[in-house]
A and B are shown apart, each in its own frame.
Chain A
Amino acid sequence: MRILNSLYGQGHGTKVALQKGSLLVTRRDATRVRVPIESLEAVVLLGSSLLTTDAIAACVERGIRVTSLRRGGRVQFVVGGPAHGNVHLRQAQFGAASNPLECAQLARWFVAGKLQNYRRLLGRWRYDIDEPGRTMVIMEQEVIENRLQGLTATDDGDRIRGIEGDATRRYFKALTARLDAERSGLRFGIRTRRPPRDPVNALLSFMYGLLTTEISGALEAVGLDLQIGFLHGARPGRPALALDVLEEFRPAIADRFALRLIGRHQLRAEHFVNTAGGACYLTEEGRSVVFRNYDIFKGEEVLHRLLGRAVPRWTLPSVQATLLARFLRGDLPAYPPYVIET
């Protein structure tokens, strides 16, 4: 199983160099960390951290994805080697993407995975929230179940997107109640993005961005084309397929992780900064808290019900990318999205 193990470099003066087949990370405060390059799948850079040419070459040679992120979590650049991968798989992907019926089929599976995970999360939250929030969460869970059932009967792409949008709105309403119950002091009104306008939205946006790069790396590693999606249409610069696969992982990984950080008071108001005009971002210290804990979170094993065994969370994007490839190449009768344990 491919392991999605990422090295995060951030902070002015942080330098990543190649030394004797390992990546040596040095910081201004003279901390030095050595990471064996064989153990890595991705290097993620933030801000003005530095990566030497030798280190880039060694990463590219081994198929390690080097990504630089903006502070909101969006991808600034990706370093890659010459075009590689699986032309037959890509042809199958293009074939499916140009067939509206196949597109709708895949879109339905992606959305079903997301809604099922919404449903399962809401099923847990009801025990954490006091009235009147609890009644609302139970009600929204029932509506999401109805939407999920509505998915089985439709092969109309627009209708699937409509169901997805409605279920997402209801989920975020329940998330507001869930966050109120935390009494963490972090604001969350409604979901806002581009830019996020409160700390919780800033954290969610950052996590979705981070997860998108991980999913992108996993998709590229199996030879799929990032930009040709099934649920998300083609737009210049949009990693549509990564966004498709992201849907099931938003609740399963990003939201759960965000809730954990907030619930444990590991992220507090001082880890966020507001710009003039009201946009909100994580500070460098805040991002460090995120990375440190995200590593622990990703290392935890969860049950993958289709594989029938426990896997560390960081392998999940690779597993799902491989399952998607196996469906497109005709080995599987359907794409099975990842669902969390109940």
Chain B
Amino acid sequence: MCLKASRINPELVIQIAALEHYAYCPRQCALIHVDGVWSDNVHTVVGTRGHVRADTSGQRMERGKLVVRALPLWSEQLGLTGRADAVEFDAHGTPSLVEYKMGSRHGDAAHLQLCAQSLCLEEMLGTPVPTGYLWFSAPRRRVAVAMDLALRERTESCIEQVRSVLVAARLPAPVDDARCRECQLLGHCLPHVCARPDETVDYLRREVFRCGS
């Protein structure tokens, strides 16, 4: 266990999940983690339902490996907190993380999330975590992800960006692109309205204060 003095103000500790949200859309990340907004859509409900097994904590031997589920993770150095779906320890005691994803592969936000989890685990256990796995439910396959230097650097820079957004407590501008159609916060973000302030002014003039025929 790492007992080093905290480098990060505890107020600014961020959820590992925020990295994935930020990688998807900085405004979605701010809405969830600054404004405390949440709503479910089909993707999140499927995700939650699919996580029932991963969320049952406990540990047991599976195919010669010790598997610990729902393990709390944190890093004092990076100011992170979160939870691992599963951590596997092989015969030599080398840990690796498994992150469960519903559906099939989409983007590389999950890589950042997995790497951040691995950085936490390295700090907590004091041992290197060279590889992680993403398990996809649609093909029922796992994909190995190497925790190389490039990914680590990308992850650390993402952590800093997320922290600066959360500290500023302002909402980044809406993106209003193809991502929005699949976003569970579409109804809170209102990207097509917020990205066009002139239309609101026009609406007030044309509809709300309109008189005569």
Contacts and interface: CB of A to CB of B under 8 A. Distances in A.
A322 B190 contact: yes
Nearest to A151: B209
A81 B199 CA distance: 37
B8 interface: no
B181 to A, nearest CB: 13
Given A306-B200, A326-B193, A332-B200, A88 B211 contact: no
B208 interface: yes
B124 to A, nearest CB: 29
B39 interface: yes
B209 A1 contact: no
B9 to A, nearest CB: 18
A113 B209 CA distance: 8
B187 A2 contact: yes
A152 B45 CA distance: 46
A322 B201 contact: no
B204 interface: yes
Contacts of B170: 330
A233 to B, nearest CB: 23
A144 to B, nearest CB: 9
B197 interface: yes
Nearest to A85: B36
Given A152-B209, A305-B203, A322-B187, A332 B37 contact: no
A48 interface: no
Contacts of B37: 86, 222-223
A325 B193 CA distance: 13
Interface size, B (range): 20 to 34
B31 to A, nearest CB: 9
B36 A332 contact: no
Interface string A298-310: 0000000111100
B35 A148 contact: no
B194 interface: yes
B190 A333 contact: no
A333 B200 contact: yes
A306 B204 CA distance: 9
Interface in A277-299: none
B92 interface: no
B35 A145 contact: no
B190 A116 contact: no
A333 B201 contact: yes
Contact of B39 (A2, A86, A325): A2
Given A1-B186, A332-B193, A84 B36 contact: yes
Interface stretch (A95-103, A206-214, A249-257, A334-342): A334-342
B60 to A, nearest CB: 28
Given A38-B40, A116-B210, A334-B200, 8 more contacts: A88-B35, A109-B208, A113-B208, A119-B211, A306-B200, A319-B187, A326-B194, A334-B204
14 contacts: A2-B187, A88-B34, A112-B204, A152-B209, A305-B203, A305-B207, A306-B207, A322-B188, A330-B171, A331-B174, A332-B193, A336-B203, A336-B204, A337-B208
Interface of B: 34-37, 39-40, 45, 169-171, 174, 186-188, 190, 192-194, 197, 199-201, 203-204, 207-212
Interface of A: 1-2, 38, 84-89, 109, 112-113, 116, 119, 145, 148-149, 151-152, 222-223, 305-308, 318-319, 322-323, 325-326, 329-334, 336-337, 339
